[in-house]
Structure 1
Amino acid sequence: MAKAGAGQTGAAQAPGGHNPWLVALVVALATFMEVLDTTIANVALRYIAGGLAVGPDESAWVSTTYLVANAITLTASSFLAKRYGRKAFFMASVAVFTAASIACGFAWSLESLLFFRIVQGLGGGGMAPLAQSILADSFPPEKRGQAFALYGVAVVFAPAIGPVLGGWLADNASWHWCFLINGPIGVISLGLMYWLIEDSAAAKAERRALRRKGARFDVVGFALVATFLGALEIVLDEGQRKDWFGTSTLMNVSGLVCALAFCAMIPWLLTKKDAILDIRLLGQRQFGSCFLVMLFTGAILISTTQFIPQITQEYYGYTATLSGLVLGPGGVVTVLMMFTAGRLSAYIQPKWMIAAGATIVALGLYNLTRLDGTTTFSFFAWSRIYMGAGLPLIFLSITAASYVGIRKDQTDQASALINVARNVGGSMGVSLAQNMLAYRSQFHQSRLVESLNPAEPAYQETLQQATRYFSEHGYAGVEAQNQAVAWIGSVLQTQVAYWAYIDVFWVLALLTACAVPLALSLKSVKLGGEPPAAH
């Protein structure tokens, strides 16, 4: 029996003569591990902050640095896979990701953890698009839909289970295990990849053609993109803490580097032949709109996955496990809705699906603006369920809509840009939400303090009642009054936090609502055909 690639001959075997379903399981396992890391550490950020003696806003870098590094690698993954082989690049990516994960687990400071997270993100960035290319080579056209369905389940199930698993590990072991868990999975994946995965004949021919052609990697373009994204992330993450561009040398230098890299990057990418990114695609109304929608969607998905556990742990006394379980039902709904959205996509235009999904997500975020001191577990869970029902309608439909008007030779570039939008959007969403939370906390505190007059009868009555309470519970005289004053201050801080989080959820809801008119501006697509693989 010929051992040609199944994608070329229709044979029941993958390249190398292996069972294609075994190949599918291997790439799904590796991708599951990588996607899991976008959410597993979010519910453990309090433990990370405490263990490394840093503030909550600094611990948020654990999420944002990974996403930015991931996005940077995405820009180079297509060329590197074609030039050096899909199997070799995939195995190298998994090896770097696994080694960096273990290093994260042994990090001794915030700086070391962030460095290893960057390396981890660089290793994981190319895994998702490579997995899909390998699946396309391993299955005949009539079986690819089932293979991508298996892959899709791994992709959506990983972020769903990530918060629950991360919370349980943080509570029962330590936050280090949120990263160390990747060690055995990565080693097993590498062994199975070496045994089962082979490049297809077409991929090998393409690699030989590139070598004969002397195609060179766009080092300058890659460096400019990486510098721009890295400097932008520093500005967004550190802006609020450093008072933006006032007296901070770090902020001024980072802002200047970001601006210079952007100004040099645009003309380079527009004029360079075989540039690292074809940003001219963003000038097309259809693709540009899809890019913005994915940017918004990434911001909502990642920021809410971080902020809901953050508020439940800080102000409602939840454990990390319970905070993860708050997100669990929404994750289950997301998995189920993936199948429903897949069926609906055969009958409903992507623009209507995206508009409906954005509306549902915006309503879920609006629901979160009603939180107060009596908010229950079910309130947070249902809000996340609403978002979990809407997000798949967006994610699955964006792929079909973004490929309208794109030439076949531009599909790799389109896929890379959509993935970059998701990851950069997620990183920007977390950074901007953290900045807004800090700014609005300062605003509400100043307003409450202004209205809190110790001479007012209401304040005096509250102080007396609180003093009496503490007196009855073992505090005497001045100590009871001091405890009462501290209690009033604590209540004030809690109220400030509620209002600040409400403001953040309002902004996220409005941001999501902006995706609706963008979606409605999209062109219609041919329904019923085989959709492109979601990257």
Structure 2
Amino acid sequence: MSEAVTSKSRSPMLIAGAVSLAAFMEVLDTTIANVALSHISGSLGATSEESTWVLTSYLVANGIILPLSGWLSSVFGRKNFFLLCILGFTITSFLCGIATSLPMLIVFRMLQGLAGGGLQPSQQAIIKDSFPPEKLGMAFAITGITTVLAPILGPVTGGYITDNFSWRWIFFINIPVGMLALFLVKALVQDPPSAKKQKVESVDYIGLGLIALGLGTLQVVLDKGQQEDWFSSNFILIFAAISIVSLIASVIWILRQKHPIIELKLFKIPSFTMPCIMIFFVGFALYSSAMLLPMEVQANFGYDATLSGLVLSPSGLATLLMMPVVGRLVNRIQGKYLISFGMLLTAGGMWATGMVTPQTDYNTFMWVRILQIVGLPFLFVPASTMAFSKITEEHSSNASAIIALMRNLGGSVGIAIVTNKLIQSQQIEQSYLVDHLNSASTVFQSTLAAYTHQFMQMGVPSLMTFDAAQHAALAKIYQQVALQASLLAYRDAYNFMAVILLLLAVVALFMPRDSYHKVEYKRPETCESEKM
């Protein structure tokens, strides 16, 4: 077939499968390395604190390139840019796998983040332009599988590979997938006229620099804030100030440009802005909950990396089953009602997870995780469909870039806020419980006496004195208090997320009614030229 043939002349499902394979690979890498950090630090002779830059460097680079991917698509042509991203991601994955030092791995991870940053937005734009307007719901059900399923499978995949092979294979596994994706995209995808390479008269280096600086420093603040004790650290204060000033300056600058690198004026469309906000909270709920539950079962229940990942994996299957169902519902039920229902389901899952006890077993964790995640398709699919309902092919890449950025920022902000909430709650709950451990408490005294007697019976009489037995009893009581405080802190964190989601369920009801018909968006100067 000739190059003039567009994507729409080929099977949309085949195109969706090809581009989703590449995007799935990239999204998977945002979480796959999380469970391997201790192995990486041990292998490369680094501290656990230093090894976290393996995650941060990737997220920083990814966050910088995401909003620019729409502009880069117009510079190279969308298909060429997508192929370049796949090739770059595949090569840098190989380089990450052969890294022999931590600085080398961090540099390669940063390059991997830069290369992969354009895959999600390009995937969404290609799929959007490949399906007719009346089938947008099903189209975004396909992108949702990538967006929601990959972060869920990342930890279990990473845990299994790390425990059974080597951490290097979490990067090497991308190579055959990337090569297959390159072949399929090259064979199946063709750019529509609006997505072909365009002549760029000049590059907005100022806007580009401000965005890169603002988003890069913001990501560092969000990722390192808790570790550095937030604004008590000069490092965080400086980076936060740079981020705020750079982002404000970039918005002012970009809005004044005739050919901006990010089409911020898309936010003038209400049916685009409100769904973007909801997608921000999809990332908030997805990434923060995917962080919390593995942490809880490893810290309090003794699960290893593989088993904690397996707690998450069944929810991926539930999501996979729900995506096409929601894709069909989108054309029958107003999107705002589906979004509100999804918020309620997810809030219920967060609340249920906070009810765990020291006796909670694997099956219970698995089911509460399913309840956490099963509502996300009701959020992502209608929100994406509504966001693109009035976006033309000309602006698909720009809109996709903004939506992907909102989702990833939601994840970063969610992880930062929820982690901070968890640590504060642990301190408060433990302080509260310790206050009740005193001589006036009959429960404490009876428990202490029982444990002391138990240790006296277990020990060798000539060696286990009463004081030693009482000391061991106090240590056991403190261990139980620490466990209870930890469980209560996780409950507080889950309830915090549940409250936010309940409020958003109400807000969603006030979103504009959806009408999935294309309404052309044109920049003001284009409209003025047509009047002349």
For Structure 1 versus Structure 2, the TM-score category normalised by the shorter chain is 0.7 to 0.9
Measure, in 2, the Cα distance between the counterparts of 1:423 and 1:154: 13
Counterpart mapping for 1:445-464 below 5 A: 445-453=430-438, 458-464=443-449
Alpha carbons 2:138, 2:328 under 8 Å: kept: no
Over aligned residue pairs, what C-alpha RMSD do you find? 3.5
Measure, in 1, the Cα distance between the counterparts of 2:97 and 2:190: 33
1:520 and 2:509 matched = yes
* SS across alignment from 2:515: coil
* SS across alignment from 1:158: helix
| Residues 339-386 of structure 1: per-residue CA shift (max 9 Å, x gap) | 110111111011111111111101111111212212222222222212
Equivalent position of 2:483 in the other structure = 494
Give the drift of 1:95.
2.8
Change beyond 3 A, Cα 1:65–1:300: farther
Equivalent position of 1:130 in the other structure = 122
Change beyond 3 A, Cα 1:337–1:63: farther
1:185 corresponds, among 165, 174, 177, to 177
Change beyond 3 A, Cα 1:111–1:454: farther
Measure, in 2, the Cα distance between the counterparts of 1:445 and 1:463: 18
* SS across alignment from 1:245: helix
Which moved further from structure 2: 303-312 or 168-177? 168-177
1:219 and 2:208 matched = no
Measure, in 2, the Cα distance between the counterparts of 1:289 and 1:321: 38
Measure, in 2, the Cα distance between the counterparts of 1:22 and 1:446: 57
Change beyond 3 A, Cα 1:282–1:343: same
2:327 corresponds, among 325, 339, 342, to 342
Equivalent position of 1:429 in the other structure = 414
Equivalent position of 1:395 in the other structure = 380
Equivalent position of 1:378 in the other structure = 363
1:440 corresponds, among 425, 431, 444, to 425
1:232 and 2:221 matched = no
Amino acid at match of 2:158: G
Amino acid at match of 2:498: A
Alpha carbons 1:72, 1:420 under 8 Å: kept: no
Change beyond 3 A, Cα 1:452–1:49: farther
Amino acid at match of 2:282: T
Which moved further from structure 2: 472-481 or 415-424? 472-481
Alpha carbons 1:361, 1:512 under 8 Å: kept: yes
1:202 and 2:193 matched = yes
Measure, in 2, the Cα distance between the counterparts of 1:197 and 1:237: 38
Give the drift of 1:183.
2.9
Alpha carbons 1:293, 1:518 under 8 Å: kept: no
Change beyond 3 A, Cα 1:106–1:310: farther
Measure, in 1, the Cα distance between the counterparts of 2:74 and 2:32: 31
Change beyond 3 A, Cα 1:304–1:254: same
Equivalent position of 2:311 in the other structure = 326
Change beyond 3 A, Cα 1:366–1:41: same
Give the drift of 1:43.
4.4
Equivalent position of 1:351 in the other structure = 336
Measure, in 1, the Cα distance between the counterparts of 2:274 and 2:293: 28
Equivalent position of 1:16 in the other structure = none
Alpha carbons 1:42, 1:309 under 8 Å: kept: no
Equivalent position of 2:67 in the other structure = 75
Which moved further from structure 2: 463-472 or 412-421? 463-472
* SS across alignment from 1:39: coil
1:294 corresponds, among 264, 279, 284, to 279
Change beyond 3 A, Cα 1:143–1:494: closer
Q: Please, which runs of 5 or more residues in structure 2 have no aligned partner?
A: 521-532
* SS across alignment from 1:514: helix
Equivalent position of 1:307 in the other structure = 292
Measure, in 1, the Cα distance between the counterparts of 2:454 and 2:238: 54
Equivalent position of 2:4 in the other structure = 4
Change beyond 3 A, Cα 1:201–1:466: closer
Measure, in 1, the Cα distance between the counterparts of 2:236 and 2:130: 48
Change beyond 3 A, Cα 1:138–1:168: same
Change beyond 3 A, Cα 1:271–1:345: same
Give the drift of 1:42.
4.0
Alpha carbons 1:454, 1:460 under 8 Å: kept: yes
Give the drift of 1:429.
0.9
Change beyond 3 A, Cα 1:160–1:245: closer
Amino acid at match of 1:244: W
Alpha carbons 1:107, 1:113 under 8 Å: kept: yes
Q: Please, which runs of 5 or more residues in structure 1 have no aligned partner?
A: 14-19
2:28 corresponds, among 21, 36, 41, to 36
Measure, in 1, the Cα distance between the counterparts of 2:439 and 2:41: 35
1:505 and 2:497 matched = no
Identity %: 39
Measure, in 2, the Cα distance between the counterparts of 1:145 and 1:518: 22
Measure, in 2, the Cα distance between the counterparts of 1:65 and 1:453: 48
* SS across alignment from 1:276: coil
Give the drift of 1:277.
2.0
Alpha carbons 1:24, 1:135 under 8 Å: kept: yes
Measure, in 2, the Cα distance between the counterparts of 1:244 and 1:149: 38
Measure, in 1, the Cα distance between the counterparts of 2:50 and 2:348: 30
| Residues 432-467 of structure 1: per-residue CA shift (max 9 Å, x gap) | 211222222222233333332367554444334334
Aligned residues, how many? 515
* SS across alignment from 2:311: helix
Alpha carbons 2:391, 2:519 under 8 Å: kept: no
Alignment TM-score, normalising by the size of structure 2: 0.85
1:167 corresponds, among 153, 156, 159, to 159
Alpha carbons 1:43, 1:309 under 8 Å: kept: no
Give the drift of 1:422.
0.2
Which moved further from structure 2: 81-90 or 62-71? 62-71
